[in-house]
Amino acid sequence: MTENGPLIELRDVHKAYPAGPGPLPVLKGVDFTLYAGECAAITGPSGCGKSTLLNLMGALDAPTSGQVLFRGRSLLSLTPMESAQFRNRDVGFVFQAHHLLPQCTALENAIVPALVHKDARNARERAETLLERVGLAHRMDARPEQLSGGERQRVAFVRALINRPALLLADEPTGSLNEEAARDMADLMLEMQRTERMAIVIVTHAMPIAERFRRVLELKDGRLVPQG
Amino acid sequence: MTFFSLILRGLAHHRRMHASVAAGTLIACAALSGALLVGDSVDGTLRGIAVARLGRVTYAIDWGHRFFSQDLPEAIHREEGRIHAAAVLALRGIAAIPAGSNVPPNQINQANMIGVGSEFWRFAEETPAFGALGPQEAAMNEAAARLLGVAVGDDIALRIPKPGLMPRDAPLAGNERDASIALLVTLKAVLTDRQLGRFSLAINQATPCNVFLDRTWLQDQMDLAGRANLLLADDGADAEAIDAALERAWTLEHIGLAFRRHPSGLVQLESSRIFIEDEIVRAALDVPGTRPSLTYLANSISKDGRTTPYSFVAAGGVPPDLPGDAAIINSWLAETIGAAAGDRIEVAYMQFQPDNAFVEKRRSFHVSKVASMDDFAIERELAPRFPGLSDVENCRDWDIGMPLDAERLDDAANEAYWNTYGQTPKLLIPFDTGKELWGTRFGSVMAVRFPAAAGDEKELERTLRARIDEKKIGLAFAAVRQRALDGVNQAMDFGGLMAAMSAFLIGSALILLGLLYSFGLQQRAGEMGTLMAVGYSARRIRALFMAEASPSALFGAVLGAVLGALYGMGLLVLLVRLWPDSMAETSIRFHARAGTLVESALVVLGCTLIILWFGVSRAAKHPARELLSRDYTAIPPAASRKQRHGQPFFMVLCLAGAAALGAAALSGAIKDLPVAFLGSGFLLLMAGLGGHAWFLGYLGHRNTFRNPTLWKLALANLARRRSRSLGVAAAIACGCFLVLSVSAMRENLALHAERRDSGTGGFPIYAETSMPVMDGGRAFLKGYIGQVIPLRVREGDDAGCLNLNRAQSPRLFGVNAEVLGALDAFADKKTWETLLHPLQDGQIPVIVGDTNTALWGLNKKTGLEDGENLTITDESGQEVTLKLVESLPMRLSVFQGALILSESDFTRLFPSESGHRAFLIETPPEKVHETVLRLNREYSRIGMQATRTLDRLEMFYGVETAYLALFLVLGGLGLMLGGAGAGIVALRNLHERQSEIALLHALGYDSPVIFHVLLVEHAALCGTGILMGACASAAAIIPMILATHTQISLYAQTAVFGGIAAVHAAAIFAALHGVLRKIRKPDSRPEVVKSLESS
């Protein structure tokens, strides 16, 4: 793979889940390419397979058939350890539910992915910087239950960025936020994308959010269809 | 922030989860360490008892009914100054409160009468204050004094069977066969264990009843001046040195042998026991020119109608080339019956039978020579001295232990012969012929004559001592202290037994721990998924969670081990309280080994960590997206979908195994029926669980119900979390199976007690006497209706359940196998016949008293082919191999703890064990109680202790009952934990389904309906477990009952079953009630809304 090649590429990806008498197909031949520093929003109705698609890109799930390539290397070829390393170094996840560790403060939650490298000191500095940048300088020592929904989501966002990933995968990051907080979150993501020079794939069913990203695709009948 | 601080944060935040880990580990560890500490305590107590009963005694020579000189210890000490040795005269007898005493009448039938000198007390840890005992003074140990109810200064009546130098059963032994000596002594001291009050060589924790007397005085009373039968030595020298000292020290005189020199120069070797032991004869006959001699009393010697009664015949003393039927007669006899050389004469004599009876037989001899009375003088001068014969003046006063005809005795000519010639034999025959006619199990040589050329007495002594292997006459020290410690070391592993009994409790605690931890993990699924999503590998996540849980497990294990000590003390109290009276008097002192605490903590910690590891690994197997869904347990992992296909195969395999095991047990291929049937039942249980797993799988993957109802949907809920449902059902089923099966082992002994094939043999009364009864009980039991089976008894270690030590030399019963076989008593004829067939290599066939003795007491296999051997020492000190060819087929019999051998083998091995000391007595059922009272009253003089055989069995069964009761207590605790587990599962299910319940409520279902639906679901969960356990248990128990004629108590079984069901029902009901109470409330709307919102 070269620096100019795609960051992530999906080739004829199919995914079906076992259900009842036979498998239930969700993705039916998805093709998708994203280059470093690019942004894309994927929309679609509830249950169409958006989250599944994101999970495949983040090596949280494997396709039934087809290829998912990251920098030209198939994610299917990764060992479980390599897969974990991939998620830790190359990808950042933001979920609709923030999934913060309840026992840790905001700052600690942000640092958790960096503990894998045993580089806590640098991670702490970066986490403090990032938390300041997302407006949580005064909330660093707060625990998840002491934070608002928007604040939790920002902590989760900082956690996703802590290891400087090349790709940020956000699954309905604004789903549980009110309109204003959702807009702020989207602004934040785009700002960070510029400063951190990372690619973003965001899954959302909120068109106003999706439209703020350069590429918008709709997942329809198991396939990605470009919008507008 | 470091990985370590992340662990600490998790530990603090999820403290409830970790508290449950600590609590589960604590319970399991306390149960295990408590159980093992019971083992430590029993072991420590037995060790203490072993030391207390021996004091400093380390080696001993126990000659039983034979006696040696009391000078032997001194001789040994002279050879090896480091050794302190003492001679003891140890007898058994009866101790009683004398008539007219102020103390209430009482009697101890099996008291040890121990005649000791002052040197004996040097073996005690603490020398008694009295210094030495004098005539008519006694000291008793605390147990005996308490049992008899006497204190220092009280008088005690003793009755002791008078031992003869010659076995009482032997012909010409004298007729004082039932002789016993009554003595009156005053109690001078009551001895503590430290003062050697507990002294005994028997490997048993039961306290003996000891009466210590002055040895010299006791010897005088018993006509055994200077004789002793027990030689004790301390550990002043090692085994090799003490053996060497003994070898140098002993003389022929010490062991009752003496030379008699005849003026002709001939030297005769004689024994104070009349008969000379084979080893000594062998050594003596190695000297050239030596001849053995045997003297017997013939009933008559006749020729052509002329006869003389009661004449001594000497075998030996004839030229060696004389034919077997040749005889040399004296001139008096020749004249009296008119016989001359060349004539045939007939000798009538009493032949001694193995059962001690005498039968008159006849044998004719060819007179080869008539010798003068002077020629016979040497025979008179060297004639053996028979008690009750050699020392009386008239024939009419003869008292020789053989039936004598008074009419024949009244013969004037014979009387004149006796007055003139005394014991001079009238007839000399070849030794081999005499041995053939009159040799008995007591021996066949009464004297050995050495020619003058063989040397003087000193030279002969040196020659003989050099040739005699003293070990073959039992003159060898046994390492009694080592034997005692071996008995403790090889004793039943109480720690193991208690741990096995606690296994279900420990298992339940660990299962509960696993359950609670897995619930905690479910709550933390999102956390785990997040870590996975941010790049934590499954291994790192496992390490993180394990590192978080381990301190809790460690804390629980350490605290559990400490609390286990308290629990162990409680178990000990319970155990001793449950033990039958005969064992409860053994006070088990609490002992705790630090190693046991550490071991149990490590074992439980290991188990806990494995369970935690399994739970974390199982959770971490799920992909992050499933973990992030927070309900990963409802999603079966891919592997379990494959497993579903293996379940029918597993089920069929288990069913086939169960059938095969059951068939093998019924066909007799497997001897241990309970184990076989329980194994078969367990396989059935496994098959049932396999079927249940398959059914849950089916429910989980089923299509829509054709006619869905709320109840069907409730059942389908069970399949949502299949492993949880299966786990709970399996735990309940296993517990139910164990408790029901084990509780079914409680037998009703009375139901088949009258049957010949029961443990009573169909005999309602069993009696033992302190004094041997010489006529097989025929005389004293006259008037009792039914058969009386006399039994010979050789005391030994109790190998039954009442003895906590491992028996080294078990008690032996000598029985008439033909009689018992003909009655089919206890076992069939074929079994009894195994005692009558000689085995290769001189092994003696023996039957073990019952299967419990074989399995637990001896822990040895039985069988004609593959039966194990046991080595014991016979009366002469020779090692004898007993082969365990069979065991009586029932679990319990009146012979528990003993080995049974044929009477002929018994009397051959132990000829001095005179008479019978145990009896099986038949009497009509309505007269049993009255007969027992009568026997005990009328025969208290001989120390008779008659009991109902059923009572004897109940006494043995008391131990088993105690263990069963303890198991039920521990099993009950386990079941309570299981019930708590079921309740927690119910709570958890309800908690997870609060929104579902709220929805039903919102849809208009009223609380009772919801309650019933949930009750059906959870009742099905527990009911399946209970039903599977009960069915498997029934499948195990019913064939066992049919095959072993065991009768269980249906009432008790129903109570146990009801108890199990009630515990689980209560737990579930409480859980359902607690959760639904909120919804039932009229103001529950906010709860419903909250639940619906959270969904």
Residue-wise pLDDT for A55-72, tens only, equals: 899 988 889 999 999 999
Least confident of B565-569, B762-766, B831-835, B974-978: B974-978
Query: What is the span of the domain harbouring residue A59?
Result: 1-88+205-228
Q: What is the ipTM of this complex?
A: 0.77
Q: Which residue has the higher pLDDT, B983 or B222?
A: B222
Q: Is B964 exposed, middle or buried (0-12, 13-18, 19+ CB in 10 A)?
A: buried
**How close A168 gets to chain B, by Cα (Å)?**
11
Give the whole-angstrom CA distance, residue B823 versus residue B831: 12
> Residue A92 pairs with which residues in a beta bridge?
A168
Which residues of chain A does B527 touch, with a Cβ-Cβ cutoff of 8 Å?
A: 99, 101-102
In total, chain A counts a number of residues equal to 228
**How close A228 gets to chain B, by Cα (Å)?**
31
Instruction: Tell whether B628 is within 8 A of chain A (Cβ).
Output: yes
Sheet containing strand B788-794, edge to edge, reads: B869-873, B879-887, B844-848, B898-902, B811-815, B788-794, B916-921, B765-773, B945-948
Interchain pair A99, B623: CB under 8 A:
no
Q: Note the Cα B76 to chain centre separation in Å.
A: 36
Which residues of chain A does B9 touch, with a Cβ-Cβ cutoff of 8 Å?
A: 101, 103-104, 108
Q: What are phi and psi of B181, to 5 degrees?
A: -110, 130
Q: Which residue has the higher pLDDT, A2 or B932?
A: B932
Interchain pair B624, A60: CB under 8 A:
yes
Nearest CA in chain A to B12: A103
Which residues of chain B does A86 touch, with a Cβ-Cβ cutoff of 8 Å?
A: 535
**Helices (DSSP H) in chain A: which residue ranges?**
50-57, 80-89, 106-111, 120-133, 149-161, 179-196, 207-210
Report residue B63 as tokens. 């000659």
Interchain pair B535, A103: CB under 8 A:
no
Which residues of chain A does B2 touch, with a Cβ-Cβ cutoff of 8 Å?
A: 115, 120
Nearest CA in chain A to B531: A113
**Helices (DSSP H) in B120-212: which residue ranges?**
142-148
Q: Please state the domain count of chain A.
A: 1
pLDDT at B55: 94
Interchain pair A112, B625: CB under 8 A:
no
What does the pLDDT average to over B317-344? Answer: 89
What pTM did the predictor assign? 0.75
Half-sphere exposure of B680 toward its Cβ, with a 13 Å CA cutoff? 24
Instruction: Tell whether B704 is within 8 A of chain A (Cβ).
Output: no
What does the pLDDT average to over A16-37? Answer: 86
Pairing type for strands B155-161 and B788-794 reads: unpaired
Interchain pair A87, B533: CB under 8 A:
yes
Which residues of chain A does B631 touch, with a Cβ-Cβ cutoff of 8 Å?
A: none
Nearest CA in chain B to A80: B537
In a domain, A2, yes or no: yes
Selection from B621, B611, B615, B614 nearest residue B529 by Cα? B621
For residue B180, which amino acid is it? S
In a domain, A59, yes or no: yes
Sheet containing strand A65-70, edge to edge, reads: A22-34, A8-19, A65-70, A73-74
Interchain pair B538, A120: CB under 8 A:
no
pLDDT at B507 exceeding the cut of 60: yes
- Percent of chain B whose pLDDT exceeds 70: 88
pLDDT at B1086: 45
Selection from B966, B520, B989, B980 nearest residue B731 by Cα? B980
Identify the three-state secondary structure at position B275. coil
pLDDT at B1088 exceeding the cut of 50: no
Interchain pair B533, A85: CB under 8 A:
no
User: Would you say B798 and B850 are in contact if contact means Cβ atoms under 8 Å apart?
Assistant: no
Give the whole-angstrom CA distance, residue A69 versus residue B367: 125
Instruction: Tell whether B1042 is within 8 A of chain A (Cβ).
Output: no
In a domain, A114, yes or no: no
**How close A225 gets to chain B, by Cα (Å)?**
25
pLDDT in tens, B439-479: 887 788 999 999 988 888 899 999 999 999 988 888 999 99
**CATH number for A49:** 3.40.50.300
Report residue B524 as tokens. 């933390």
Which residues of chain A does B537 touch, with a Cβ-Cβ cutoff of 8 Å?
A: 80-81, 84-85
Q: What is the secondary structure of B638-671 as a DSSP string?
A: HHHHHHHHHHHHHHHHHHHHHHHHHHHHHHTS-S
Interchain pair B534, A58: CB under 8 A:
no
Which residues of chain A does B640 touch, with a Cβ-Cβ cutoff of 8 Å?
A: none
In a domain, A64, yes or no: yes
Q: Note the Cα B348 to chain centre separation in Å.
A: 48
For residue B233, which amino acid is it? A
Give the whole-angstrom CA distance, residue B151 versus residue B140: 9
Q: What are phi and psi of B303, to 5 degrees?
A: -150, 120
Interchain pair A97, B10: CB under 8 A:
no
pLDDT in tens, B557-613: 999 999 999 999 998 888 888 877 666 566 788 898 999 999 999 999 999 999 999
Nearest CA in chain B to A162: B534
Which residues of chain B does A95 touch, with a Cβ-Cβ cutoff of 8 Å?
A: 530, 533, 628
pLDDT at B97: 93
In a domain, A138, yes or no: no
- Percent of chain B whose pLDDT exceeds 90: 37
What does the pLDDT average to over B333-357? Answer: 87
**How close A122 gets to chain B, by Cα (Å)?**
11
In total, chain B counts a number of residues equal to 1095
B68's CB contacts (< 8 A; 6+ apart) are: B61, B87, B227, B228, B229, B231, B254, B255, B256, B475
Report residue B414 as tokens. 């014979």
**How close B991 gets to chain A, by Cα (Å)?**
20
Nearest CA in chain B to A81: B537
Which residues of chain A does B538 touch, with a Cβ-Cβ cutoff of 8 Å?
A: 80, 84
Interchain pair A20, B703: CB under 8 A:
yes
In a domain, A75, yes or no: yes
Which residues of chain B does A55 touch, with a Cβ-Cβ cutoff of 8 Å?
A: 624-625
Interchain pair A112, B12: CB under 8 A:
no
Interchain pair B3, A118: CB under 8 A:
yes
In a domain, A152, yes or no: no
Q: Which residue has the tokens 């695709």?
A: A217
Q: Residue B1089: pLDDT band by 50, 70, 90 thresholds?
A: very low
Mean pLDDT, all residues of chain B: 84
Interchain pair A100, B2: CB under 8 A:
no
In a domain, A211, yes or no: yes
From the list B527, B540, B624, the residue facing A101 with the nearest CB is: B527
